[in-house]
Structure 1
């Protein structure tokens, strides 16, 4: 663990949410040498005491789906995360990330993920997961970080960006590479079934990888094939792959997109119920907004996204190609048609471009400015910006969001994509959950929120001394006044930090005091087998803390 202050601190009269989902209780909490030293009814004494006057004290929140792989190298202070109570970020999402990468495709990977993860001012000096984690460690981030092995990155070592089935020998190689990534610190394997080359994985290949994960008692994390018209079918397919392979299934940023599908959350949760009843372990993460956010290229039909970056750009220049794209978007099909799910081009908001132009405008507005059809305007924007464009797409309903928020199998995430005018979820997610869905709407009790934000994620990852307020555990802690919590980030002005967090501690060091960051950078780079104490993830369920 990074160095911590030698000063002990005791939080007195705290309303403790211990992370189990149990009710809050009043206690004095002593932190010393980076850990929770004592929890008691009577003060123990410390170098410094703080009377919380019954503000809540909870375990530090875990952002279970983040895109800060390069941001934590460029901006390790992580102010936008700390000020909403996040002490740990989980990276390597959606099957496409920064590590592992083969040398001959490093430049292409740098281009492909810049919209999601940004850039650094040099060629990536790493290839493996372990080497990337070492580089992240050297940046001394203010928050803890964990990493998944992305399926697309692993696959690119074997088949590049080719859309083809792998041979049995190649699948064996892929399984070996996954094992090495876990040995290097990855906690599980993510896949993104709309993002090449992860989207090129066939079911037998994915089932074989699920078997490798099962051998380690690990888990698969998936952006599923379709989150709109075929969301129920896609989740059922994913659960079946994990069931046959024997591993725990975790669904990324669970949602139901497209007005015609609103209400299908009940069918999704029925699938989870059936899987759990059959003995399968199932979990998910979620952000609390009606708009998603991703790369603008996700609006293109799969055939239009094939090949390397320059191939896609050249393809989009063709008038006949644009006409075919427009036909595909306007017609029902078996692909993830996010433009159709949005309903109108006014529901597609540009959040970032490489040039900085058109940020905060809708595709409809850009089309009007340029005197073009919206599909032509989208394609021209992608060509002009070298594909480096992100968007927010308004496709979800509050009813489905609330139904998922109330489910105890879920965890929370920002899915934060930075740059330009990002989706406010990157800055305001946990404040929004507390303010809107706990305090104002009573969608879920505060005790369950703390479990879903900290204890449950720690159990999923296999962190045996984090995620709970328990003696001897690492002192990743948040203190907040529920009545004062306010999500300030908006689509128009996203970089407004959350109010109401009085203290945030990372490894015992005070990173936020009175709502302001202190500059402390005490985050730890978490490596799977080190945290697990062996080659396999421990099965943790700490629903009660003694």
Structure 2
């Protein structure tokens, strides 16, 4: 007799195949049988009532590295059906730590700390895994090595190539992470210190991934005017190193770049026909989210947040920063760096969501804050950075909905949240609580951009296969019983930019 049988389900098995009615039996956390099963075959019977039964969702792009310490249940994930998540994205991972640069590393990781009290009692990834294993986690966590973290742990925030000795040290740190159980390396090439790295540096590190069977996930160097160059560079790393690559949260930022995804997706198709294993992930929103520091030119961020704040105290340097911020918003001129002010349409399109030392700013745009304070909103951005010492977040209204649909439909795209759940009382991007239900409600039920089966494949078997999680992502005897029950007619995201932590509805049960 099995432990539990789920009966009367509309089974969407995660493969993309059409749904069918049937039952699923589970024994010791493993799917034991499927089909038309008798009701007395198990100790417990769950009547699914013709709702959808599918694999638990796999979110392969999150920033929960530290959030799991204050919320090991990960309510934001479980309540939208996510049973497995991958951390260490955009070049930022919780390990390794180096005592010489621990202060810099803490400031670098500030906006993904999100108000979490951390023991900081690890040095290596092996140490971090041991610490995490002690947490009462309700879901599964996969980890990546952050390129920015290993660079900062080797040469701080210096804007220069690593020496031979430093390069070897970075490779050793990456190898330690891979040997400890990480799935690959990620980059955040708009953020210091990743922004200071060359293609040659990344390709050399990618050789370690080749040797250890790792993946390369990239927040590319540019997602706006130089999007196509960045896609080409990312594909080239996969080609040169012979490794699988993933373009993280693919989009074209800024009104003057909308539509570029048509060509970027064509480039992905072409690379795949040439044998380069390149895929994409995406969140289904028209605003991106990152730090307020992303409004600053890269040179102003050299050396970490301490040196940034010191520069801003010098009147001449502050004026130079303000001039470059202002110039970056002129879409009639080229901009050599990824300016979120430009991409988001200026201060009106920059919604401040997390500023623990200036909470009065949360939920307001830079323009609104500037008007209330009687200050230039660009100078307000600098003030926020100084007051919060770089621990801040904002949403930027920068993405076109038609582009979202086009990327979502692409066969190489999987759904991922890029989420950082806010600290208690704070705000964040609604994707932290709404990504998967939003796809099911808006892009499946309402707009029919995707079929139900295709959408679930992009959230289950596809990301599970990308990570090499052979026991997850598909309903089949012998697979892990990470299961989700939801009503396709009522599932709905409710998280908004003003109220980003509202739980979705229509998701009945989640089993891990």
Query: TM-score higher than 0.5 here?
Result: yes
SS class of match (2:85): strand
> Which residue does the alignment assign to 1:323?
319
Contact 1:97/1:117 (8 A) holds in 2: no
- In structure 1, distance between residues paired with 2:393 and 2:128: 25
> Which residue does the alignment assign to 2:493?
487
Deviations 1:398-448 (A, max 9, x none): 000000111121111221122311111101111100000010000111111
**Which of 130, 135, 138 is 1:142 aligned to?**
138
Deviation at 1:174, TM superposition (A): 2.2
SS class of match (2:429): coil
> Which residue does the alignment assign to 1:341?
343
> Which residue does the alignment assign to 1:37?
32
SS class of match (1:15): strand
SS class of match (1:333): coil
- In structure 1, distance between residues paired with 2:307 and 2:283: 34
Deviations 1:218-267 (A, max 9, x none): 21010000111111111111111221111111011111110011111101
Contact 1:325/1:375 (8 A) holds in 2: no
> Which residue does the alignment assign to 1:19?
14
- In structure 2, distance between residues paired with 1:472 and 1:278: 35
1:379 aligns with 2:374: no
**Which of 241, 244, 250 is 1:248 aligned to?**
244
Contact 1:367/1:377 (8 A) holds in 2: yes
Contact 1:7/1:32 (8 A) holds in 2: yes
Aligned positions of 1:283-432 closer than 5 A: 283-329=279-325, 330-331=327-328, 332-355=334-357, 356-417=359-420, 418-419=422-423, 420-432=426-438
Deviations 1:81-125 (A, max 9, x none): 111000011100111221111122223212221212335435401
What value does the CA root-mean-square deviation take over the aligned residues? Answer: 1.5
1:455 aligns with 2:458: no
> Which residue does the alignment assign to 2:331?
none
SS class of match (2:229): helix
What 5-or-longer segments of structure 1 have no aligned partner?
1-5, 507-546
> Which residue does the alignment assign to 1:191?
187
Contact 2:427/2:499 (8 A) holds in 1: yes
Change (3 A) 1:122 1:497: closer
- In structure 2, distance between residues paired with 1:147 and 1:284: 18
Deviations 1:264-319 (A, max 9, x none): 11011011011001001111211110000011101100001111321111112233
Deviations 1:23-71 (A, max 9, x none): 1111110111011111112336111112212211111101111111111
Contact 1:218/1:247 (8 A) holds in 2: yes
Contact 1:98/1:109 (8 A) holds in 2: no
SS class of match (2:284): coil
SS class of match (1:97): coil
Deviation at 1:497, TM superposition (A): 0.4
1:114 aligns with 2:104: no
- In structure 2, distance between residues paired with 1:354 and 1:51: 45
Deviation at 1:208, TM superposition (A): 1.0
> Which residue does the alignment assign to 1:129?
125
What 5-or-longer segments of structure 2 have no aligned partner?
329-333
Aligned positions of 1:112-261 closer than 5 A: 112-261=108-257
Deviations 1:482-511 (A, max 9, x none): 1110101111111210111111110xxxxx
- In structure 1, distance between residues paired with 2:117 and 2:497: 28
Ranked by relative contact order (alpha carbons within 8 Å, sequence separation 6 or more), the top structure is 1
SS class of match (1:483): coil
Deviation at 1:377, TM superposition (A): 1.2
**Number of residue equivalences:** 501
Relative to structure 2, which stretch is displaced further, 437-446 or 337-346? 337-346
- In structure 2, distance between residues paired with 1:307 and 1:157: 13
Change (3 A) 1:361 1:180: same
- In structure 1, distance between residues paired with 2:113 and 2:58: 19
Contact 1:70/1:119 (8 A) holds in 2: no
- In structure 1, distance between residues paired with 2:479 and 2:299: 50
Contact 1:98/1:110 (8 A) holds in 2: no
Contact 2:72/2:136 (8 A) holds in 1: yes
Aligned positions of 1:495-514 closer than 5 A: 495-506=501-512
Structure 1 length-normalised TM: 0.89
